[in-house]
Chains A and B, each alone.
Chain A
Amino acid sequence: MKRVFEQIYALTAFSLRFFREVFLPPYEFGEFAAHLENFGSRSFPLVSVIGLLMGLILALQTKPTLARFGAESFLPAMVAISVVRELGPVITALVVAGRVSSGIGAEIGSMKVTEQIDALEVSSIDPYRFLVVPRVMAGTLALPLLTAYADLLGILGAFAVMFVSGGMGWQLFMSSTIASLSVADIVPGIAKTFFFGYIISMVGSYFGFKATGGTEGVGKAATTAVVFASFLILITDFVLVKVGILLFE
């Protein structure tokens, strides 16, 4: 049990250091841009597929239930709200965590076990600033964009179901979708993904830095990072939803 608390303490200290370092020069613009691109290109295909499937499945699943109550016309609203508030952010974050947290864990982990991080140290290049800060910045900014994109695809997926099965027109679908969404759905939905993006990159970096003992250590860093990031995303989501309810409702 003591070990668990030590681990949590270490991870917290490691994560908070970001807020001190991010404002200090030298700024790694080049690294930041490279990691932003990397984060996006790694996740984009996956997020596209998952976003679309999310809308398709949700619509297929709820349509019969709604039909039983004669409430089929509520489907666009229901899908839009669940996707934008909850499913889009969380599913995107979990999927991206599987891809990116493990990627970062493996990348930094292999730098650690092959002494590349020591080499940076010896050249007085702060490894945290050079490796962690740009990755976390990229993650924090990229995930909200990816989530917005996944949300859109999810809504499109729902439209596809409605169109094929019931012949609902584009205009009707979109107008009821837009009418159902309020700022109070969109803002919290997107806002929490900044936290998720931060977690995804930070947890990957942390376990990468902790890697020891050759290739085996690198693999372990990658898998532990995914498990831990997913867990933290869900906990954070729970907390943020609670806070949101207290604040806004």
Chain B
Amino acid sequence: MIEIRNLYKTFGSLKVLDGLTLTVKKGETFSVLGKSGTGKSVTLKCIVGLLAADAGDIFVDSVRVDLRDRKSLFSIRQMIGFLFQSGALYDSMSIRDNLIFNLTRHHKVRHNEADEKAVHYLTLVGLGRSVDKMPSELSGGMRKRAALARALVIEPRILLYDEPTTGLDPITSAEISDLIREMHSKFGITGIVVTHDILCAGIVSDRAGVLKDGVLKYTGTLNELAETRDEDVKGFFRNPL
């Protein structure tokens, strides 16, 4: 379970989060929609303690996120898989080693087993034949998928995704969304998915909300969101075809 209460965050004079509150129940997947620059990535980074909020509390499975408490931060990060918007693959390692590195270091999995898992998850995201490529040899979409595999491979209880399908073609997008849905229901994963891709949100999420003016406005099921009259919300549902 992830609980965010009254989160505030400013950068200099720029107010990004202004009392954001959100509860994602165990096993639930929540999508965050919102225009560019509204603070979606910032919210995710606050949850894993990469950014310190100015005020407010975050609880991950009842453990409070507190940047000064290394021990609780460690136990929180142990439960979470994180997909960076930019991928953030370690560019000095092959993508196989990117996955193995996290597993053997952080999760104390033996090397053989880690290797098997790495190949398995890379195959799931359609990179089975590129496991030994370096990140610089991959296309943007391949990098995104490799980063997704790196988040999944640790088989965490909680997954946070920053735009998992951005930069992918519609077919791959749908496949990736299905994969996320499947993983979540199979392992009972709790998730937050930041996305602009309404089809993806539709596939993966139980509920969604729109981030605007530093708070989550209009939360509900996607169908409920689609009914609201707000122009900013309607914009996401405008069918491009």
Give A residues with C-beta under 8 Å from B.
Answer: 110-111, 114-116, 118-119, 121-125
Contacts and interface: CB of A to CB of B under 8 A. Distances in A.
Interface core residue of A115, A116, A122, A124 (most chain B CB under 10 Å): A122
A118 B50 contact: yes
Given A119-B89, A119-B90, A125-B106, 5 more contacts: A116-B89, A118-B88, A121-B77, A122-B48, A124-B73
Contact of B90 (A116, A121, A122, A124): A116
Contacts of B50: 118, 121-122
B182 interface: no
Contacts of B80: 122
Contacts of B48: 122
B105 interface: yes
Interface of B: 45, 48, 50, 73-74, 77-78, 80, 82, 84, 86, 88-91, 101-102, 105-106
Nearest to B80: A122
Interface core residue of A110, A114, A118, A123 (most chain B CB under 10 Å): A123
A124 B106 contact: yes
Contacts of B73: 124
Nearest to B150: A119
B106 A118 contact: no
26 contacts: A110-B91, A111-B90, A114-B86, A115-B84, A116-B88, A116-B90, A116-B91, A118-B45, A118-B50, A118-B84, A119-B82, A119-B84, A119-B88, A119-B90, A121-B77, A122-B48, A122-B50, A122-B77, A122-B80, A123-B101, A123-B102, A123-B105, A124-B73, A124-B106, A125-B105, A125-B106
Contact of A123 (B45, B89, B91, B106): B106
